[in-house]
Structure 1
Amino acid sequence: MKLIADSGSTKTSWCLINNNQPEIYFDTEGFNPYYVDSEYIRACIIEKLPAVIAAKNIAEIHFYGAGCSGDKNHIVSTALKSVFPAAAITVDHDLLAAARAVLGRSAGFVAILGTGMASCIYNGENITHQIDSLGFILGDEGSGAYIGKKLLIDYGRDRMPKDLKTEFFETYKLSPDDIINEVYTKPMPNRFCAGFCRFIILHIQHPYISALVKSAFADCFNNLISLYPAYKTYTLNCVGSIGYKFSDLLSTVAAGYGMRTGNIIKTPIEGLVKYHSQNN
Structure 2
Amino acid sequence: MKIDFNRLIERGERVLLADGGSTKMEWLELCDRKVIWRHEEPGVNPLTMGMQPLKDTFKRVLTLMPEAPVAVGYYGAGCTPKVCNELEKVIQQCFGCRGECGSDLLLAARLLCPHGEGLVCILGTGSNSGLFADGELKQRIPSLGYLLGDEGGAGYIGKHIVADCLRGIADEAAMRRWHELGLTEQDVLNNVYGESVKPAAWLGKISQLMSDCYAESEYLRNLVRKCLNDFFTRLVLHYNLSDNTPIYFAGTPARHFADKLRQIGESYGLNIAEIVAKPFDKIF
TM-score by length of 2: 0.87
Match of 2:94 in 1: 83
CA distance in 1, matches of 2:152, 2:45: 19
Match of 1:60 in 2: 71
CA distance in 1, matches of 2:253, 2:86: 27
SS of residue paired to 2:49: coil
**Match for 1:179: what amino acid?**
V
2:12 matches 1:2: no
Match of 1:30 in 2: 43
Q: Deviations over 1:195-242 (max 9, x none)?
A: 112224322213221111000011111111111123663233101111
2:184 matches 1:175: yes
Is contact 1:120-1:129 (8 Å) kept? yes
Aligned length: 269
2:175 matches 1:165: yes
Is contact 2:126-2:153 (8 Å) kept? yes
Is contact 2:178-2:210 (8 Å) kept? no
Deviation at 1:75, TM superposition (A): 4.5
- CA gap of 1:185–1:4, structure 2 versus 1, over 3 A, is same
**Match for 1:61: what amino acid?**
V
- CA gap of 1:50–1:79, structure 2 versus 1, over 3 A, is same
CA distance in 2, matches of 1:231, 1:179: 43
Equivalent residue in structure 2 for 1:120, among 109, 127, 130 = 130
CA distance in 2, matches of 1:231, 1:10: 34
- CA gap of 1:7–1:20, structure 2 versus 1, over 3 A, is closer
Deviation at 1:77, TM superposition (A): 2.9
- CA gap of 1:74–1:37, structure 2 versus 1, over 3 A, is farther
Q: Which structure 2 residues correspond to residues 1-280 of structure 1 after superposition, within 5 A?
A: 1-19=14-32, 22-48=35-61, 51-54=64-67, 57-85=68-96, 87-171=97-181, 173-186=182-195, 187-205=197-215, 206-230=217-241, 233-271=244-282, 273=283
Deviation at 1:52, TM superposition (A): 4.8
Q: Which moved more, 1:179-188 or 1:151-160?
A: 179-188
- CA gap of 1:21–1:256, structure 2 versus 1, over 3 A, is closer
**Match for 2:47: what amino acid?**
Y
CA distance in 2, matches of 1:232, 1:34: 36
Is contact 1:11-1:30 (8 Å) kept? yes
Q: Deviations over 1:117-145 (max 9, x none)?
A: 11111101201000011111001100111
Is contact 1:39-1:79 (8 Å) kept? no
CA distance in 1, matches of 2:160, 2:233: 16
SS of residue paired to 1:196: helix
TM-score by length of 1: 0.89
- CA gap of 1:162–1:270, structure 2 versus 1, over 3 A, is closer
Q: Deviations over 1:227-261 (max 9, x none)?
A: 11236632331011111011111111212222132
**Considering only aligned residues, what root-mean-square deviation do their CA atoms show, in Å?**
2.0
CA distance in 2, matches of 1:231, 1:138: 28
The higher-RCO structure (CA 8 Å, 6+ apart) is 1
**Which 5+ residue runs of structure 1 have no aligned equivalent?**
275-280
Q: Which moved more, 1:260-269 or 1:97-106?
A: 97-106
Deviation at 1:22, TM superposition (A): 4.9
**Which 5+ residue runs of structure 2 have no aligned equivalent?**
1-13
Is contact 1:109-1:120 (8 Å) kept? yes
**Match for 2:118: what amino acid?**
G
CA distance in 1, matches of 2:174, 2:135: 46
Deviation at 1:109, TM superposition (A): 1.0
**Match for 2:154: what amino acid?**
G
**Match for 2:211: what amino acid?**
I
- CA gap of 1:127–1:135, structure 2 versus 1, over 3 A, is same
